[in-house]
Amino acid sequence: MSTSINLAVIPGDGIGQEVVAQGLKVLTAVLPQDVKLETRPYDLGAQRWHRTGETLPDAELEALKHHDAILLGAIGDPSVPSGVLERGLLLKLRFAFDHFINLRPSKLFPNTATPLAGRPEIDFVVVREGTEGPYTGNGGSLRTGTPAEVATEVSVNTAYGVERVVRDAYERANARPRKKLTLVHKNNVLVYAGHLWKNTFDKVGQEYPEVTTDYLHVDAATIFFVTQPERFDVIVTDNLFGDILTDLAAAVTGGIGLAASGNINPTGAFPSMFEPVHGSAPDIAGTGKADPTATILSVALLLRHLGYEAQAVRIEDAVSADLAERDGTFRSTDAIGDALAARVAG
Amino acid sequence: MSTSINLAVIPGDGIGQEVVAQGLKVLTAVLPQDVKLETRPYDLGAQRWHRTGETLPDAELEALKHHDAILLGAIGDPSVPSGVLERGLLLKLRFAFDHFINLRPSKLFPNTATPLAGRPEIDFVVVREGTEGPYTGNGGSLRTGTPAEVATEVSVNTAYGVERVVRDAYERANARPRKKLTLVHKNNVLVYAGHLWKNTFDKVGQEYPEVTTDYLHVDAATIFFVTQPERFDVIVTDNLFGDILTDLAAAVTGGIGLAASGNINPTGAFPSMFEPVHGSAPDIAGTGKADPTATILSVALLLRHLGYEAQAVRIEDAVSADLAERDGTFRSTDAIGDALAARVAG
Ligand SMILES: CC(C)[C@H](C(=O)O)[C@@H](O)C(=O)O
Ligand SMILES: CC(C)[C@H](C(=O)O)[C@@H](O)C(=O)O
């Protein structure tokens, strides 16, 4: 825990600007007086791309390295071809800074809407691998645009990459009261990657005799997400399955307005990056309808990562208390930010 | 519509035997007197593999070609290493017989349990590609079992393969009252395959001006499956996304006990294969607890494929009526089969 935080801020596109402003408001309010917070905004995203054609120039990538952490709003706009900003900016950051832990907690807070009947207890965390799998950009297209086109996508999985994320997940499971870890993959079809994941999972598990383990195919896992979400404690899975499962998890725990995430490099070699799971939602940008709670909860993850555990808990408790009192009447992005800032300061 | 049906039956593992018996019972009951039904059982699955080490010998693959259709129960057993039967038998059949349409209707029948609050109207069909994508078995493992292992899985997508399934999906959408088709992919990350899918979708769409189209990333699609499933009519998607989405679809429409599927080769070059979406459920095999309804609904798809539309509808109506009258008291596999056979015969 340092006595200063040098934070990079990438508001990005759409509602990204608005929610990040609230995240910073709450961050400022929760930090002890003697911690110096410096923030530097980075103008990256759709507007920058339209203006200059750049997604993430080397100079800015280099500059970003020197921050303690990154807070990101949302990336993506319908005016930019699909993939340009995702691959050229968001995924570029995750890969360049070796964010191999993509941490996504899912909790059904009291008094929040869930599409599930019976309001099951939901409190699990997905440890999504962040630097391998089908996200590597390996692949290509041959005879593009002709009737003879062949397009491939290569999922790359290494023992090095799988072992470090699996080990991190065991650590997290071991530190939780229920001590349960579920591996999700599709090892009956993706046999090469699947065997690597399963063997690594079993091998590393020998070091954690107190952790109960479980394996589910990804298709079966989606069933349990809606019929028995209470069965999950910690889930470890690959980059693509984690992407899919965490949106579903967000949906069953009250929506992506509440889903936080951290792209973490636990070695500290590069800054970790915290962002809401939701996208840029251009349809509601500027209307004050965006819920900044997911970003504010991402700030809690950021604080925990930097060693400010008490402040992280303060934010999480504030969100819990705030949600418990929400009565369904509309509150603007700003009003939610104000309410949470007031709570954490109090 | 032929006046005889020469059916191959692969009961397979676990509850496969039990549910297939009920499927055949209902098939026999619904067929007109003058249609000659011949069935030939194939002993394939876990027991055969344990006995002989074989999954699907060439002679049997050859023999299977000469049937009008195949009815399959379920494949897989924990005593067999993951992937052996899936790749060596189930997927081998889908690929050998070029089952490029994996058809999976999802309907929330009245009076059935759904985990979703508010019981939304659900009535959509997923057209899952069946012969490409990450299911091709392309890939491998280098330095297997060492700390330097690299395991890859290659998703292979061809213009040929994508266009034929997309066209089939447009045809199906065009024939339905709402005429709406949603493409699900992840084209912001899997850009090569994603562009091929999206471009093909847009191009073929020009031939179907009456069909309303929509695109969703797979992660977002899972959200809508639980928050707004009524928005879907026909969905077309790749092999892996289709696998995941159809289990989730089954879960929200009352469970995999009701989810039917057809592995269809619309050209008729090879027999199509019909199977419940659920697995072999070894934990309840032999207990009479398996619900044969998914298999019986798969028999309806089989009949429709062979031109027996009236008989297919008769089964679907019988299932609807039967579900409407189920009062939650336990009925055995056999009892459900008897009830449905009586209804379709009546
Ligand atoms: C925007 C996209 C590239 C990203 C992903 O697929 O990882 C998003 O869906 C997420 O989950 O953070
Ligand atoms: C058993 C498995 C290979 C299969 C698949 O992944 O296609 C199953 O999950 C299905 O959906 O039919």
A241 and A262 part of one domain: no
Substitution site in B80, B85, B90, B238 for ligand 2 pocket (most atoms within 8 Å of beta carbon): B90
Tell me the pLDDT band of A110, cut-offs 50, 70 and 90.
confident
Q: What's the gap in Å between A337 CA and the centre of ligand 1?
A: 24
Q: What are the tokens at A58?
A: 């080397």
Catalytic pick from A68, A123, A247, A338?
A247
B163 and B239 part of one domain: yes
A261 and A198 part of one domain: no
| Residue A106, in any domain of the structure | no
Q: How far is A5 from chain B (nearest CA, A)?
A: 32
What is the residue with the minimal CA distance to atom 7 of ligand 2? B243
B120 and B228 part of one domain: yes
Q: What's the gap in Å between B243 CA and the centre of ligand 2?
A: 6
| Tally of CB atoms within 10 A around A105 | 21
A6-18 per-position pLDDT tens digit: 999 999 999 999 9
Grouping H, G, I as helix, E, B as strand and the rest as coil, residue A82 is coil
A168 labelled as ligand-binding? no
> What value does the mean pLDDT take over residues A202-220?
98
What is the residue with the minimal CA distance to atom 3 of ligand 2? B86
- Is it the case that residue B2 has pLDDT exceeding 80? no
A206 close to ligand 2 (CB < 6 Angstrom) = no
Q: Which residues contact B206 (CB under 8 A, 6 or more apart)?
A: none
Of A253, A274, A297, which closes a domain?
Answer: A253
User: How many CA atoms are closer than 13 Å to the CA of A276, on its beta-carbon side?
Assistant: 32
A304-334 per-position pLDDT tens digit: 999 999 999 999 999 999 999 988 899 999 9
The answer to whether residue B141 neighbours chain A at the CB level (below 8 Å) is: yes
A152 and A210 part of one domain: yes
Given a contact cutoff of 8 angstroms between Cβ atoms, the answer to whether B236 and B201 are in contact is yes
Q: Do B190 and A86 touch (CB under 8 A)?
A: no
| Residue B345, in any domain of the structure | yes
Mutate to test the interface with B, among A89, A93, A114, A190 (most CBs of B within 10 A): A190
Please state the domain count of chain A.
2
B302 and B209 part of one domain: no
Q: What's the gap in Å between A102 CA and the centre of ligand 1?
A: 11
B180 classed as catalytic: no
A289 labelled as ligand-binding? yes
Query: What's the domain range around A307?
Result: 1-98+257-346
The answer to whether residue B33 neighbours chain A at the CB level (below 8 Å) is: no
B239 and B301 part of one domain: no
In sequence order, the β-bridge partners of residue A154 are B154
B324: left (phi over 0), alpha (psi -120 to 50) or beta: alpha
B11-67 per-position pLDDT tens digit: 999 999 999 999 999 999 999 999 999 999 999 999 999 999 999 999 999 999 999
Q: What's the gap in Å between B13 CA and the centre of ligand 2?
A: 14
Phi and psi for B284 in degrees, rounded to 5? Answer: -115, 5
Q: Do A151 and B192 touch (CB under 8 A)?
A: yes
Q: Do B243 and A190 touch (CB under 8 A)?
A: no
Q: Do A114 and B115 touch (CB under 8 A)?
A: no
CA dist A109 and A119 (Å) reads: 10
Given a contact cutoff of 8 angstroms between Cβ atoms, the answer to whether A190 and A197 are in contact is no
Atom of ligand 2 nearest to the CA of B246: 11
Catalytic pick from A135, A168, A308, A322?
A135
What is the residue with the minimal CA distance to atom 6 of ligand 1? A243
Of A212, A237, A253, which closes a domain?
Answer: A253
| Residue B109, in any domain of the structure | no
> Within chain B, where are the H helices?
16-30, 46-52, 58-64, 84-85, 91-96, 159-174, 191-205, 218-227, 239-252, 293-305, 309-325, 333-345
Q: What is the CATH number of the domain that holds A217?
A: 3.40.718.10
> What value does the mean pLDDT take over residues A178-205?
98
Q: Do B195 and A156 touch (CB under 8 A)?
A: no
| Residue A108, in any domain of the structure | no
Of B226, B253, B280, which closes a domain?
Answer: B253
Atom of ligand 2 nearest to the CA of A219: 9
The answer to whether residue B114 neighbours chain A at the CB level (below 8 Å) is: yes
The answer to whether residue A284 neighbours chain B at the CB level (below 8 Å) is: no
- Is it the case that residue B207 has pLDDT exceeding 60? yes
A31-48 per-position pLDDT tens digit: 999 999 999 999 999 999
| Residue A212, in any domain of the structure | yes
| Residue B108, in any domain of the structure | no
Q: What is the pTM of this model?
A: 0.97
Report the pLDDT value the prediction gives residue B335, as an integer from 0 to 100.
97
B280 and B327 part of one domain: yes
In sequence order, the β-bridge partners of residue B125 are B105, B234
Q: Which residues contact B240 (CB under 8 A, 6 or more apart)?
A: A186, A189, B133, B134, B135, B155
A42 and A164 part of one domain: no
Phi and psi for B118 in degrees, rounded to 5? Answer: 85, -5
The percent of residues in chain A predicted with pLDDT above 90, rounded, is 95
- Is it the case that residue A1 has pLDDT exceeding 60? no
Tell me the pLDDT band of A285, cut-offs 50, 70 and 90.
very high
Q: Do B157 and A146 touch (CB under 8 A)?
A: no
A71 and A5 part of one domain: yes
| Residue A58, in any domain of the structure | yes
Tell me the pLDDT band of A277, cut-offs 50, 70 and 90.
very high
A18 and A94 part of one domain: yes
- For helices A293-305 and A333-345, give the axis angle rounded to 10 degrees: 40
A120 and A241 part of one domain: yes
The percent of residues in chain B predicted with pLDDT above 90, rounded, is 95
| Residue A334, in any domain of the structure | yes
